[in-house]
Amino acid sequence: MSSADVTGDRHIPEPDPAKGDLAPERDGPRDTGMDDASLHRWLERTWRTPSGIVGALSSVDHKVIARRYLITAFVFLGLGGLNAVAMRIQLSGPQRGLIGPDLYNQLFTMHGVTMMFLFAVPIVQATGIYLVPLMVGTRNIAFPRLNAFGYWIYVSGGAFAWVSFALNMAPDVGWFAYVPLSGPEFAPGKRADVWAQMITYTEVSSLAVAVATIVTVFKQRAPGMSLDKIPLYVWAMLVTSFVVVFAMPAVMITSTFLILDRLVGTHIFNPAEGGDALLFQHLFWFFGHPEVYIIFLPATGMVSAIIPVFARRLTFGHLGLVLSLIAVGFLSFGLWVHHMFATGLPKLGASFFTASSMLIAIPNGVQIFCWLATLWDGRPVIRTPLLFVFGFFFIFVIGGLTGVMLASVPLDLQVHDTYFVVAHFHYVLIGGSVFPLLGAAYFWFPKITGRMMSERLGRCHFWLAFIGFNAAFFPMHLVGLWGMPRRVYTYPAELGWGNINLFISAGALLFFLSFVLFTFNLVHGALKGTLAGNNPWDAGTLEWATSSPPPSYNFARIPLVTHIEPLWAEREALPVATGLRVDARELLISTVAEAYPDIREKSATPSIWPLFAALAVGGTFLYSIFTPWAIVWGAAPIAITLIGWFWPKGDPEDQE
Amino acid sequence: MKHRIAADLSGLPTFGHGPRSPTWWGTLGFMALEGTGFALAAGAYLYLATLWPNWRLSAPQPNHWPGTIVTLLLILSLVPNHILNRYAKQCAIGPVRIGMVVMSLLGLAPLVVRWFEFPALNIYWDTNAYGSMLWVLLGLHTMHLITDVGDTLVLTVLMFTRHGHSGRRFGDVGDNVFYWDFVVLTWIPIYLLIYWMPRLG
């Protein structure tokens, strides 16, 4: 394929003659014909994050923001894990007195809320923030200031939840906070409000990231990366972002309705005054089920990125995998009622949701078979990332099978709210998302830090995690079938659940220790790991075409894409484009389907205003759990900070 | 990795209107998620309305006139909105400045009438769930109205400064036109739901 095909030469227009009342374009130096050393010097000066504390707080570099996201989400994983360890110690024997019911309620709620809203969604999005711009060959994410804003909102939401916990004010109504338990009548105090507002923070942040990701994928792909050449991981993040856009508003509506009922006396969920409690469940699960796929789809993208590299061949069934991702994205919106089988819905409705719950197993099955075929026909090199992919296969398939079981109404009614369900969703979530994430950590760590993690420790980590996980969660199926309900802080000795619970707790401890080992491997790798070079795994996608860690401007010149695995197709030299300015943050906007080059767009410069805006918005959210007037008082600071954010400051980036 | 120069992008323009610009897509993304919020709120209203056989729960009918005036004003505003869009595409600063002033006024006018819509609902938010849903729907749209009018005002001021002479600003005007269409279009179903659904039942 020639470069003329890639850039669609006929689409590069001649420079427009001056049109309308525009200030004359102030041109600056271009990279055309510039030698490498001067090019790096120019780009570094233009794209670097300013030094100092204010500089760091103003950063809009997607890699810097993503690193912060990753580290913050990892801290929340640790905190949520400690919640779990505390609960497992309490449950390790019958009638232990370590933790009382009130604290236990807060613990399991904080565990769920932390893992879902502060760890799982942010960490998959953060991985995307880091990788998507690199994989599509651009210099920054779309709307970089919005992206920075999203991070600050997320941190403040997480801090809000955990400070509340420290103040004995943490939500204690479960991670889905059903009414009437969470309503004004049965949840006095501020605990349920903390749940509702923490949702608002985290959803604002995920929605911002989702929009930025969609636009990055649609408009900032390197020339030649037509739809059929988009890497599968990027496809996965694109579909996920769409699911976020259509699912997250549901939970914001839910939590807003709840807070209105609690704070200003509306009756939306109050059956005594024409409202309805089940409406809460419908709205929540219209978000809650797609949420599972928001966590799972990026993980499948990671698996699709890892497998071809270690199988040493192109992915089998690329198109089938893309279509499966899209199908899962759509179907994820048709399943929510299967969380509500025990609420006495009409039989016909329940049957429909049983059918759709089974239907979604088909595209997921297609994905699994494509991966297996890729491995079968390749020459697999078994390294730690691939081990975690194998762990994912094993655990996720078991979780999927219990999922198909639970889709059947009679069985679901029997095991509803028992440990069988706890076992099922931990198999799905940890197997389906955390194992691929751990594999992805080993896979992309060298790109992010420039150093390798230890392979030996990695293998130990895998086996410790795999054994610990199964020891902790497999017996939960049994104890659930025996009738042990979830969310109980203890159980009497006569039921005979003591030994198996002790075993589960031991497994949980082992699983926790595997994360301690992982943390050690991360720190050790970052400080002492062997140098990685640009492309330690000889992978084929664009993030490996630049140095490790990548420079602030990602690519010295924008690559041209001729193949689905560009670096495997162009082993001699990467075809690149010139003609961009080097004294202003210029990047390339391309067309949506064919990725023909279209516009030289300026990317936003560093700014402290997104932080101020996040403080204003976060302060308003916090204040609003005490008085509805917060919305009125908060409006002025929010408006001021947003004006500060958008008002042009006279940088070259603001001129055009 | 070694580079091989294979294309020259220096001739590309530095801004584009409509779907060529990333901001347009970002605006579309926010419309999609806010539209989902509207749809779900409307869905919640319909869910409750079908659940209770005596819906409206013996509340009086809302007075539709303030809402109807807002509707007419909003529909009327679409005409200058699209004339403004044409001038923004031509990057003509004079007409764009006039158009932005007109659109600011046409944004403020329905907001003033909106003030009288709340009492015209003839019910409070804490009377019953019917009242709650009316206030929620009207409040949700009012939030959008306020934010877009605020945005329009700031952009109007900006267009009168030296920053107005830039292609990106004209693109911003185009996106503002686009978003105003969204604010108007989302109002129509909410208007019908608030004022005319109760008249059916």
* Residues from chain A contacting residue B165 (CB–CB below 8 Å): 21-23
Which one of B29, B48, B94 has the shortest CB-CB distance to A245? B29
Q: Is the separation of the CB atoms in A318 and A229 below 8 Å?
A: no
Residue A201 scores a pLDDT above 70: yes
Q: Is the separation of the CB atoms in B104 and B145 below 8 Å?
A: no
Q: Check residue A19 and give its pLDDT.
A: 65
Residue type, A605: T
- Least Cα distance to A445 among A517, A525, A558 occurs for A525
Residue A344 scores a pLDDT above 90: no
Q: What are phi and psi of A459, to 5 degrees?
A: -65, -40
Question: Does B29 touch chain A if contact means CB atoms closer than 8 Å?
Answer: yes
Distance CA A341, CA A343 (A): 6
Residue A266 Cα, gap to closest chain B Cα (Å): 5
* Residues from chain B contacting residue A284 (CB–CB below 8 Å): none
Q: Is the separation of the CB atoms in A47 and A553 below 8 Å?
A: yes
Distance CA A71, CA A156 (A): 15
* The residue to which tokens 């608030």 are assigned: B194
Q: Which position has the higher pLDDT, A404 or A634?
A: A634
Distance CA A175, CA A195 (A): 8
Show Cβ contacts of residue A249 under 8 Å, excluding neighbours closer than 6 positions: A203, A207, A287, B33, B34, B36, B37, B40
Domains of chain B: 64-200 (1.20.120.80)
Which one of A266, A556, A656 has the shortest CB-CB distance to B167? A656
* Residues from chain B contacting residue A576 (CB–CB below 8 Å): 3-7
Residue A79 Cα, gap to closest chain B Cα (Å): 31
Tell me whether residues A266 and B6 touch, CB distance under 8 A: no
pLDDT tens digits, one per residue of A445-494: 999 999 999 999 999 999 999 999 999 999 999 999 999 999 999 999 99
Q: Which position has the higher pLDDT, A336 or A122?
A: A122
Question: Does B201 touch chain A if contact means CB atoms closer than 8 Å?
Answer: no
Q: Which helix (H) or strand (E) holds A500?
A: helix A498-528
* Residues from chain A contacting residue B162 (CB–CB below 8 Å): 23
Question: Does B50 touch chain A if contact means CB atoms closer than 8 Å?
Answer: no
Q: Check residue A563 and give its pLDDT.
A: 94
Q: Is the separation of the CB atoms in A614 and A598 below 8 Å?
A: no
- Least Cα distance to A112 among A421, A398, A497, A520 occurs for A421
Which one of A276, A580, A643 has the shortest CB-CB distance to B51? A276
Q: Check residue A10 and give its pLDDT.
A: 45
Which of A3, A16, A21, A240 is most worth mutating to test chain B (most B CB atoms within 10 A of its CB)? A21
* The residue to which tokens 């497994």 are assigned: A507
Average pLDDT, chain A: 93
Return the percentage of chain A with pLDDT > 70, whole number. 97
Residue B163 gets which letter from DSSP?
G
Q: Check residue A7 and give its pLDDT.
A: 57
Residue A539 Cα, gap to closest chain B Cα (Å): 13
Mean pLDDT of A281-309: 95
| A1 pLDDT tier (thresholds 50, 70, 90) | very low
Distance CA A464, CA A458 (A): 10
- Least Cα distance to B103 among B84, B124, B122 occurs for B84
Residue B64 Cα, gap to closest chain A Cα (Å): 22
- A214-239 CB burial, b ≥16 within 10 A, e <16: bbbbbbbbbbbbbeebbbbbbbbbbb
User: How many CB atoms sit inside 10 A of residue A29's CB?
Assistant: 12
Alpha-carbon distance values, A54 to A49, A59, A203, A608, B20 (Å) = 10, 9, 27, 7, 34
Tell me whether residues A13 and B11 touch, CB distance under 8 A: yes
* Residues from chain A contacting residue B14 (CB–CB below 8 Å): 25, 599-602, 656
Q: Is the separation of the CB atoms in A376 and A364 below 8 Å?
A: no
Q: Check residue B201 and give its pLDDT.
A: 57
| B112 pLDDT tier (thresholds 50, 70, 90) | very high
Partners of residue A575 on adjacent β-strands: B4
Q: Check residue A5 and give its pLDDT.
A: 57
Q: Is the separation of the CB atoms in A550 and A63 below 8 Å?
A: yes
Q: Check residue A353 and give its pLDDT.
A: 83
Tell me whether residues A211 and B26 touch, CB distance under 8 A: yes
Return the percentage of chain B with pLDDT > 90, whole number. 87
Q: Check residue A656 and give its pLDDT.
A: 57
Q: Which residues 78-117 in chain B show a CB within 8 A of chain A?
A: 90-94
* Residues from chain B contacting residue A577 (CB–CB below 8 Å): 5-9
Tell me whether residues B9 and A142 touch, CB distance under 8 A: no
Mean pLDDT of A386-394: 97
Alpha-carbon distance values, A231 to A226, A546, A566 (Å) = 10, 17, 10
Residue of B nearest to A210 (CA): B29
Which one of B1, B30, B136 has the shortest CB-CB distance to A545? B1
Residue A505 Cα, gap to closest chain B Cα (Å): 42
pLDDT tens digits, one per residue of A418-454: 999 999 999 999 999 999 999 999 999 999 999 999 9
Residue B131 Cα, gap to closest chain A Cα (Å): 8
Q: Check residue A17 and give its pLDDT.
A: 47
Query: What tokens appear for A230 in the block?
Result: 């988009």
Question: Does B129 touch chain A if contact means CB atoms closer than 8 Å?
Answer: yes
Q: Is the separation of the CB atoms in B27 and B175 below 8 Å?
A: yes
Domains of chain A: which residue ranges?
54-528
Mean pLDDT of A369-397: 96
B46 CA to centre of own chain: 22
Which one of A266, A588, A656 has the shortest CB-CB distance to B166? A656
Return the percentage of chain B with pLDDT > 70, whole number. 100
pLDDT tens digits, one per residue of B51-70: 998 888 889 999 999 999 99
Q: Check residue A8 and give its pLDDT.
A: 54
Residue of A nearest to B11 (CA): A15
Q: Is A576 helix (H, G, I), strand (E, B) or coil?
A: strand
Query: What tokens appear for A579 in the block?
Result: 């003609």
Mean pLDDT of A410-422: 94
pLDDT tens digits, one per residue of B81-106: 999 999 999 999 999 999 999 999 99
Return the percentage of chain A with pLDDT > 90, whole number. 87
Mean pLDDT of A148-176: 96
Inter-chain Cβ pairs, chain A and chain B, closer than 8 A = 235
Residue type, B49: A
| A336 pLDDT tier (thresholds 50, 70, 90) | confident
Q: Check residue B197 and give its pLDDT.
A: 87
Show Cβ contacts of residue B100 under 8 Å, excluding neighbours closer than 6 positions: B84, B152, B155, B156, B159, B173
Q: Which range is least confidently modeled, A159-168, A344-353, A414-423?
A: A344-353
- Least Cα distance to A8 among A640, A554, A596 occurs for A596
What's A54-528's CATH class?
A: mainly alpha
* Residues from chain B contacting residue A588 (CB–CB below 8 Å): 9, 12
Distance CA A329, CA A334 (A): 10
Kindly give the interhelix angle for A435-449 and A455-481, rounded to the nearest 10 degrees. 160
Which of A273, A280, A447, A591 is most worth mutating to test chain B (most B CB atoms within 10 A of its CB)? A273
Residue A136 Cα, gap to closest chain B Cα (Å): 15
Which of B2, B5, B8, B9 is most worth mutating to test chain A (most A CB atoms within 10 A of its CB)? B9
* Residues from chain A contacting residue B15 (CB–CB below 8 Å): 599, 601, 656
